Chain A
Amino acid sequence: MIDRDEVLHVARLARLQLSEDEIEPMARELSVVLDHVAKIGELDLDGVAPTTHVAEVTGRLRADEPCESLPREVVLAQAPDVSGDGFLVPSPQA
């Protein structure tokens, strides 16, 4: 089971505000899903290596050379707010 305090803790980690009316259903629904997935706890997995990725490719590196990127003005055109040639965000220091 996951309780209200845990929901609020995880929401803080996830940078996610939850409305008051979202908290209890979230606790209930997460509990149902977590109870179901907890069945993997019954398996004997001692000595089994984890699979992070199925493709057998490791350490493929490209040369570290500058290449073309998107023009600054094109990227800034998508931003909710800009200042000069950068993204503008609320500043805790302002």
Chain B
Amino acid sequence: MSADLLELSAAAAARELAAGEIAAHELLGVYRARAVAEELNCFTWVGDGEAPAPPPGSPLGGVPLAVKDLFCTEGVPSQSGSRILEGYRPPYTATVVERLRAAGAPLLAKTNQDEFAMGSSNENSAFGPVLNPWDRTRVPGGSSGGSAAAVAAGLAPWALGTDTGGSIRQPAALCGIVGMKPTYGAVSRYGMIAFASSLDQAGPLTRDVTDAALMLRHMIGRDKRDATSLSFPHEIALPSAESLAGVRLGVPAELSGEGIEDGVLDSFMAALRRAEELGAEIEQVSLPHAPHALSAYYVIAPAEASSNLARFDGVRYGLRIDDPAHPNDLLGMYTRTRHDGFGAEVKRRIMLGTYALSSGYYDAYYGRAQRVRTKIVEDFRSVFERVDFVVTPTSPSVAFPLGSRTGDPLAMYLSDFCTVPMSLAGIPAISIPCGLSEGLPVGLQLAGPAFSENKLLDAAHAIERKLAFDPTPARMAGGAGGPDARDGGSAGAGA
């Protein structure tokens, strides 16, 4: 019975919960038991004790949700993968987590991540790396690596992540699942521990496109506590398209050639042929400034981060390092606390951002990067006059071995090559698994104009059906693995 529960997609589980075929506490119990026994280091906290019953008549009816560590959750550790926030239990809950709870998705666990969402491999977490369920010697991608690995391994029905330059899409690609970054402003950022505020956006990591639509439906909308949030112009529909007749897909030369692994390109091209069989028209397009997006991103994001992370100073919450020899040294307390509390990559980005904003360098770096951003926005605007969506590989490579890029920050940053242009333009983009290369998943990215989520989900749904990607190898690899262990589900079950 419990093995069957684990097979249900979130949308299927919601249907069975609504029909009374399964019970919410039973489903939560099965997942909790699996989560506490997992071996991939996906989770930084797993709920126990009595779980509140889902609100009566709620549309999701009790489908448990794994939530990236950086979302504030009242009374529950919310540490953004950082030692400087170790043990921090916020006094309030992020709007998006609250909305999903109210829709009937209770908190299952908090997921591991790169510290302050800075990273593409999950190796920058203060709580250790996450292992990729397809191959435990490889990274799951990042920064939402715990969320992606948990969903891929069947340790959670679905998970919430955040994407600043690819942090949902790239780990989704490397773990063989679906990940979506919505239009900037579609989802409230209130209660998300900030990285780069003009780019950060929450989104779903799910087993399939339908689940992504279902989660997004309950996330969107204006929030008076986030002045940059917007009223979404329509409801998110569950996707139903099976054909791509009349859909024009643009392949940007700049993001589908140089720098992309051969195996990834092969899988991407094969997926495009299947899309053609579904009726799509495919044409080559140009995003002339896309090759400069990574440079602009690695100025803008660290600049915003250096400002956002100034709040971690040992005064109001989190770590403080006092020096008994200098009890009155306030400045020293700040600098020591930040030295001990931040990891190497976070320090690097704070330094990079502070440098780019400093007197004498501001115009050359930050000012120019913002102008490049304008050109990237214009590139997309012009391409979307000709095609409905831009399609690219999500990641230039498949999951890479743990430790292989940690000594080379630039090599790590290049992991975001195909995903940062959409982030800078604030447009929605989704990654779906499109095949295997060397036995590891490859992601296909589709991006559309702002607020085109429904059309984007429909197109992704049609391609997903046609490709029929098999997620089984990862699903079996979460630890507490085989069917016997899966049946131990009732331990820790809430009421």
Contact = CB atoms under 8 A, between A and B. Distances in A.
Given A33-B298, A40-B295, A50-B371, A70 B339 contact: no
B214 to A, nearest CB: 25
Interface size class of A (residues with CB under 8 A): 35 or more
Interface in A35-74: 36-41, 43, 45, 48-55, 57, 60, 62, 70, 74
B298 A37 contact: yes
Contacts of B332: 17, 90
A80 B373 CA distance: 40
A92 B351 CA distance: 26
B99 interface: no
Given A50-B373, A55-B230, A26 B351 contact: yes
B130 interface: no
Interface size class of B (residues with CB under 8 A): 35 or more
Contact of B364 (A2, A41, A51): A41
A14 B351 contact: yes
Contacts of A10: 351, 354-355, 358
Given A17-B338, A40-B296, A80 B320 contact: yes
Contact of B315 (A74, A80, A93): A80
B468 interface: no
B310 A78 contact: no
Contacts of B313: 15
Interface in B169-196: 184-185
A74 B91 contact: yes
Interface in A1-36: 2, 6-7, 10-11, 13-19, 22, 26, 29-30, 32-34, 36
**Considering residues A26, A32, A45, which has the most beta carbons from chain B within 10 angstroms of its beta carbon?**
A45
Nearest to A15: B334
Nearest to B293: A40
Nearest to A94: B328
**Considering residues A2, A37, A43, A93, which has the most beta carbons from chain B within 10 angstroms of its beta carbon?**
A37
B410 A32 contact: yes
B354 A40 contact: no
Contact of B339 (A19, A41, A92, A94): A19
Given A41-B368, A55-B426, A50 B374 contact: yes
Contacts of A83: none
B329 interface: yes
B477 interface: no
B335 A55 contact: no
B320 A81 contact: yes
Given A29-B348, A70-B92, A13 B358 contact: yes
Contact of B348 (A30, A79, A93): A30
A84 to B, nearest CB: 15
Nearest to B224: A62
**Considering residues A6, A80, A81, which has the most beta carbons from chain B within 10 angstroms of its beta carbon?**
A80
A18 to B, nearest CB: 7
B409 A89 contact: no
B463 interface: no
A62 B225 CA distance: 10
Contact of A79 (B89, B317, B347, B355): B317
Return the 6 tightest CB-CB contacts between A and B, nearest first: A54-B426, A50-B370, A80-B320, A17-B335, A17-B339, A37-B295
Interface of B: 88-92, 184-185, 198, 224, 227-228, 230, 289, 292, 294-296, 298-299, 306, 310, 313-320, 322, 326-336, 338-339, 342, 344, 347-348, 350-352, 354-355, 358, 364-365, 367-375, 377, 409-410, 413, 424-426, 450
Interface of A: 2, 6-7, 10-11, 13-19, 22, 26, 29-30, 32-34, 36-41, 43, 45, 48-55, 57, 60, 62, 70, 74-75, 77-81, 87, 89-94
25 contacts: A16-B335, A17-B332, A29-B348, A30-B351, A32-B410, A33-B409, A33-B413, A37-B365, A38-B295, A39-B292, A43-B372, A49-B371, A49-B374, A53-B198, A54-B184, A54-B377, A55-B426, A75-B316, A77-B91, A78-B91, A80-B314, A80-B315, A81-B320, A89-B330, A92-B328
